[in-house]
């Protein structure tokens, strides 16, 4: 069995709707092994994004436990959780969420610079990543000068800058046309196949889900079923 990079146990989370608590996750269990590309699917409100936020440490569960790379996120205070997220988790958003004031290169370099790594080293790595996503010549372009697909590729490069243990992708193709969406999925798949990267992706798109190695369907705050996706192109490093 692959080493667990994400371990979720009996996870519960409710949100208030007016004064009434509405449970979103109701005792969810999930394990994602190193080098796996897991797609979370399910209807709106099934808890996909909530699960990603909890795994990212952006929110805290009402009950249950989240471990990423062996670290119990619930045991960390806000600052340590933030630092852990910065160093160990890469996030790709549906709306790309690039910083409009910064050019592509600085957007990619940002998490590395926030971690206090030397600028020259971080910028060299950011250029390398931009080249890898096919945007070496767009390094100086600002977000509003890039297409949606290009923005998402910059966001993916940004997610990789600190060599994270896992990448969390929330509807990464949700705002892209089919061609750009396909290209983004190719990129994610390459990361898994070539680098053994661990990815947990939430998606509505069945075609996107099929590019994963495992498809996990959520319903009513729990895992309803798990299906195999594409096979790995190369055996995992583990």
* Distance between CA atoms of residues 136 and 197, nearest Å: 22
- DSSP per position, 84-147: HHHHHEEEE-TT----TTS-HHHHHHHHHHHTT--HHHHHHHHHHHHHHTT-GGGTT--GGGS-
At its nearest, how many Å lie between other proteins and the CB of residue 31? 24
Helix (H, G, I), strand (E, B) or coil at 49: helix
Whole-number minimum distance, CB 26 to other proteins, in Å? 20
CA distances to 82, 195, 220 from 46, in Å: 26, 31, 5
Q: Closest CB to other proteins among 20 and 79?
A: 79
Cα 200 versus chain centre, distance: 6
User: Cβ(92)–Cβ(152) under 8 Å?
Assistant: yes
Cβ-based neighbour number of residue 177 at 10 Å: 12
Name which of 18 and 100 has its Cβ closer to other proteins.
100
Nearer to other proteins, 155 or 191 (CB): 155
Which C-beta is closer to other proteins: that of 76 or that of 232? 76
Choice between 145 and 178, CB closer to other proteins? 145
As measured in angstroms, the least distance from the Cβ of 91 to other proteins is 6
Considering the complex, what minimum distance in angstroms separates the CB of residue 229 from other proteins? Answer: 25
Name the nearest CA neighbour of 10 among 62, 52, 47, 78.
Answer: 62
The residue among 33 and 66 lying less far from other proteins, judged by its C-beta, is 66
Q: Which residues bind other proteins (CB under 8 A)?
A: 49, 53, 56, 58-59, 78-79, 82-83, 85-87, 91, 93-95, 97-102, 106, 110-111, 113-119, 142, 144, 158, 162, 170
Q: Shortest approach of other proteins to residue 202 CB, angstroms? A: 11
Q: Is 179 helix (H, G, I), strand (E, B) or coil?
A: helix
* Minimum gap (Å) between residue 79 Cβ and other proteins: 5
């Amino acid at each position: 069995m692959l080493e667990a990079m994400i371990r979720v146990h009996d996870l519960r989370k409710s949100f208030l709707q007016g004064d009434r608590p509405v449970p979103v996750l109701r005792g969810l269990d999930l394990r994602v092994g190193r080098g796996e590309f897991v797609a979370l699917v399910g209807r709106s409100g099934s808890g996909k994004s909530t699960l990603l936020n909890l795994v990212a440490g952006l929110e805290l569960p009402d009950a249950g436990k989240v471990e990423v790379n062996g670290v119990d996120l619930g045991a960390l205070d806000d600052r340590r959780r933030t630092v852990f997220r910065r160093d160990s988790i890469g996030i790709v958003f549906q709306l790309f969420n690039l910083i409009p004031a910064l050019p592509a290169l600085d957007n990619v370099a940002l998490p590395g610079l926030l971690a206090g790594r030397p600028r020259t080293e971080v910028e060299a790595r950011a250029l390398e990543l931009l080249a890898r996503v096919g945007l070496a010549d767009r390094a100086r372009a600002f977000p509003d000068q890039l297409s949606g697909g290009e923005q998402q590729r910059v966001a993916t490069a940004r997610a990789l800058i600190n060599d994270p243990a896992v990448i969390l992708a929330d509807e990464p193709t949700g705002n892209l046309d089919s061609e750009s969406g396909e290209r983004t999925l190719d990129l994610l798949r390459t990361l898994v196949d070539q680098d053994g990267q661990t990815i947990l992706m939430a998606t509505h798109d069945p075609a996107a889900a099929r590019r994963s190695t495992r498809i996990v369907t959520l319903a009513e705050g729990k895992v309803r079923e798990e299906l195999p996706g594409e096979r790995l192109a190369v055996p995992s490093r583990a």
